[in-house]
Amino acid sequence: MITENDILSWLKEIPDPEIPVISVVELGVVRKIELNNSKVTVTVTPTYSGCPAMKQMEDDIRAKIHENGISDVEIKMTYSPAWTTDWITDEAKEKLRVYGIAPPEHSTIDKKVLMGLQERVVKCPQCGSAVTEMISQFGSTACKSLYKCKDCLEPFDYFKCL
């Protein structure tokens, strides 16, 4: 007997298309898994509506479930509640840091930054310095910004908060 938990463990093996060190489950986009008779419905919330990696994630989820012998798979998109970087697990944030991507701060901080109430502090994932500057709004992918550390002079990606 296959359970919803089994399906979750399969999905944990799917790497994020943009950041292969974390899985789509750790990224927090998988909201719900339902198993009815032999049909699986997976509800996912895109990281943001224009994220080009979403189609890939959808294909990967479908392929993974097919691989395990279930042919009837439906992927449902839900935009509410909206995904936030708070849904990324703490463990995954640590993996991001080790990978060289500054983990996202809490989204509430970013909202304050957007409203000009607080300056964003992005710490260098290499040396931990808070003296960094944004070089470009867009890093290696649209979901990241490119920063440079003024202490160790290393450029790095910052995972944007939404």
Residue number with CB closer to Zn ion (10 or 158):
158
Is 136 an interacting residue with respect to Zn ion (CB under 5 A)? no
- Name the nearest CA neighbour of 157 among 125, 131, 127: 125
Least distance in Å: CB of 142 to Zn ion?
Answer: 24
Stretch that binds Zn ion, among 43-51, 52-60, 103-111, 121-129 (CB under 5 A): 121-129
Least distance in Å: CB of 133 to Zn ion?
Answer: 11
Least distance in Å: CB of 135 to Zn ion?
Answer: 14
Is 126 an interacting residue with respect to Zn ion (CB under 5 A)? yes
Helix/strand/coil for 23: strand
In the list 8, 114, 127, 135, the residue contacting Zn ion (rule: CB under 5 A) is 127
Is 30 an interacting residue with respect to Zn ion (CB under 5 A)? no
Residue number with CB closer to Zn ion (11 or 149):
149
DSSP 34-82: EEETTEEEEEE--SSTT-THHHHHHHHHHHHHHHTT--EEEEEE--SSP
Neighbours of 150 (CB within 10 A): 12
Is 152 an interacting residue with respect to Zn ion (CB under 5 A)? yes
For the CA atoms of 107, 108, 112, 115, the dihedral, rounded to the nearest 10 degrees, stands at 70
* ∠ CA 72-78-80, rounded to 5°: 155
Residues in contact with Zn ion by the rule CB under 5 A:
124, 126-127, 129, 149, 151-152
